[in-house]
Amino acid sequence: MMMAKPSPALLQRPGDAAEMVIRGARVLDPRADLDAVRDIVVRGGEIAELAEPGAAEAPAGAESVGGVGLLVLPAFVDPHVHLRVPGQEHKEDLETGTRAAAAGGYCAVIAMANTEPPIDSAAVLGSVRERALFEASVPVGFVANVTQGMAGGELTEMAELREAGAVGFSDDGLPIRSARVLRRALQYQRLSGGVIALHEEDPDLSGDGVMHEGEVSAVLGLAGVPAVSESTMIARDCSLALYERARIHIQHLSARASVEEVARAKAAGVEVTCEASPHHLTLTDEAVRSLDAGFKMNPPLRSEDDRQALIEGLRDGTIDCVATDHAPHAPEEKEVPFEQAAMGVTGLEKAFAVLHTELVLPGVLELETLVERMTFGGEPFGIPAPRIEPGAPANLVLIDPAKEWVVGEDGYESRAFNSCFAGRTLTGRVLMTVAAGQVAYRRRSFAISAAAEVAG
Look at residues 285, 276, 286 and name the one whose alpha carbon lies nearest to residue 310.
Answer: 276
**Residue 237 is a binding residue for Zn ion (CB under 5 A):** no
Question: Residues with Cβ < 8 Å from 31, sequence gap 6 or more?
Answer: 74, 372, 375, 385, 387
Task: Please state the closest distance from residue 280 (CB atom) to Zn ion, in A.
Answer: 12
Which residue lies nearest Zn ion, judged by its C-beta?
Answer: 199
CB of 82 to Zn ion, least distance (A): 6
If the CB atoms of residues 38 and 80 are measured against Zn ion, the closer one turns out to be 80
Q: How far is the CB of 208 from Zn ion (least distance, A)?
A: 17
Between 251 and 357, CB nearer to Zn ion: 251
Radius of gyration of the chain (CA): 21
- Distance of alpha carbon 202 from alpha carbon 233, whole angstroms: 6
Of the residues 199, 212, 256, 329, which one makes contact with Zn ion according to CB under 5 A: 199
Candidates 155-163, 196-204, 421-429, 448-456; binding stretch for Zn ion (CB under 5 A)? 196-204
Among 93, 325, 358, 400, binds Zn ion (CB under 5 A): 325
What is the Cα–Cα distance from 336 to 301, expressed in whole angstroms? 19
**Residue 201 binding Zn ion, by CB under 5 A:** no
Which residue in 78, 93, 202, 325 is the catalytic one?
Answer: 325
Binding residues with Zn ion: total (CB under 5 A): 3
- Report yes or no: 47 and 390 within 8 Å, Cβ to Cβ: yes
Q: Which parts of 85-214 fold into alpha helices (H)?
A: 94-103, 122-135, 158-163, 179-192, 203-206
Nearer to Zn ion, 172 or 230 (CB): 172
> Backbone phi, then psi, for 386, in 5-degree steps?
-65, 150
- The Cα–Cα gap between 49 and 350 comes to 30
If the CB atoms of residues 56 and 112 are measured against Zn ion, the closer one turns out to be 112
As measured in angstroms, the least distance from the Cβ of 416 to Zn ion is 14
- Whether 325 is catalytic is yes
Neighbours of 403 (CB within 10 A): 16
Stretch that binds Zn ion, among 69-77, 179-187, 204-212, 319-327 (CB under 5 A): 319-327
Neighbours of 115 (CB within 10 A): 23
Please say which residue, 19 or 172, places its beta carbon nearer to Zn ion.
172
Q: Which residues from 149-178 bind Zn ion, rule CB under 5 A? A: 172
With contact defined as beta carbons under 8 Å apart, do 394 and 18 qualify? yes
Minimum Å gap between C-beta 399 and Zn ion is: 26
Q: Which residues bind Zn ion (CB under 5 A)?
A: 172, 199, 325
Q: Which residues are catalytic?
A: 325
